[in-house]
Amino acid sequence: MAYKNYGYGDIESAVGQPAALYPGIPGDENVLRWAFIRKVYGILSVQLVLTTLVSAIVVFTPAVLLFLQSNGWSLIFISILPLILMCPLYYYHQSHPINLILLGLFTVAISLTVGIVCALTNGIIVLEALILTAAVVVSLTAYTYWAASKGYDFSYLGPILFVSLIVLVLFGIIQAFFPLGPISVTIYGVLSALIFSAYIIYDTDNLIKRYTYDEFIWASVALYLDVINLFLALLQILRSLQSEN
């Protein structure tokens, strides 16, 4: 039997039955959910590869970085472009192929910001932040799948993380206009890392249990933002520690 309405092809071609994602999930639903998860992680992998390529171009092409630094308007535009693109991306995230086009533009916009930050940071620190991010993401993802298989639920984190994110944004605005010193920068980075680490657990739990099969674009966006923001937070912490030393 082929479940082609979901775009996953013939799921009976899979060898063996995948492990149950959480207690009580029906067998057919479990197979479909695993196919959905693979699709989301496939999209996420492409996003991360694209981010790496765009960031590398910014870092290793002095002319690009010089242009961005010498034109203040371009930095402002790049910083707000992802927010602008998120509105149509959310509206069209179930409309193919518009969703993929908007996702690509959104990823490139985020990647430009990441590239600028990396270009202004010591290469060793960037590498350390990258390794730490990979370790944290893999560990938290593995933990969430294990916890879900044991019946744990993390939906309660939603309201807590939303309020925490609002506070973090307000803290960042205050820090931008009224700098509180290097210690506050470190504190901000630590809080950001903790919040987005928790978001990885929350969004992975949603991926396992709550996202519908046609929300694969939005699921990948959520996880992508968690990973990128965690990387930037760890980068900020390491840069702050280096400047203090």
> What confidence category does residue 75 fall into, taking pLDDT thresholds of 50, 70 and 90?
confident
> How far is Cα 238 from Cα 118, in angstroms, rounded to an integer?
12
Average pLDDT of the residues in 65-91: 82
- Residue 122 near residue 130 (C-beta atoms within 8 A): no
> How far is Cα 155 from Cα 209, in angstroms, rounded to an integer?
10
Q: How far is CA 230 from CA 31, 100, 194, in A?
A: 31, 24, 8
The CA angle 66-124-241, to the nearest 5 degrees, is: 95
Q: Of 42, 74, 41, 46, which is closest to residue 58 (Cα–Cα)?
A: 74
pLDDT score at 65: 75
Secondary structure string (H, E, C) spanning the chain: CCCHHHCCCCHHHCCCCCCCCCCCCCHHHHHHHHHHHHHHHHHHHHHHHHHHHHHHHHHHCHHHHHHHHHCHHHHHHHHHHHHHHHHHHHHCCCCCCHHHHHHHHHHHHHHHHHHHHHHCCCHHHHHHHHHHHHHHHHHHHHHHHHHHHCCCCCCCHHHHHHHHHHHHHHHHHHHHHCCCCHHHHHHHHHHHHHHHHHHHHHHHHHHHHCCCCCCHHHHHHHHHHHHHHHHHHHHHHHHHHHHHC
**What would the pLDDT profile of 115-144 be if each residue is shown by its tens digit?**
988 988 888 999 999 999 999 999 999 999
Q: Flag the least confident range among 62-71, 112-121, 212-221.
A: 62-71
Average pLDDT of the residues in 45-68: 88
- Percentage of the chain beyond pLDDT 90 is 51
> How far is Cα 203 from Cα 195, in angstroms, rounded to an integer?
12
> What confidence category does residue 146 fall into, taking pLDDT thresholds of 50, 70 and 90?
very high
Average pLDDT of the residues in 215-221: 93
Peptide linkage before 159 cis (omega within 30 of 0): no
pLDDT score at 8: 40
Average pLDDT of the residues in 226-243: 90
Compute CA 198 distance to the chain's CA centroid, rounded to the nearest angstrom.
12
Average pLDDT of the residues in 37-49: 96
Encoded tokens for 99: 């969703």
Average pLDDT of the residues in 184-189: 86
pLDDT score at 244: 60
> How far is Cα 73 from Cα 67, in angstroms, rounded to an integer?
11
Q: Is the pLDDT of residue 215 over 60?
A: yes
Q: Is the pLDDT of residue 6 over 50?
A: no
pLDDT score at 7: 41
Q: What residue ranges do the domains of the chain occupy? A: 20-244
Q: Phi and psi at residue 2, in whole multiples of 5°?
A: -105, 130
Q: Is the pLDDT of residue 33 over 50?
A: yes
Give the chain's mean pLDDT: 86
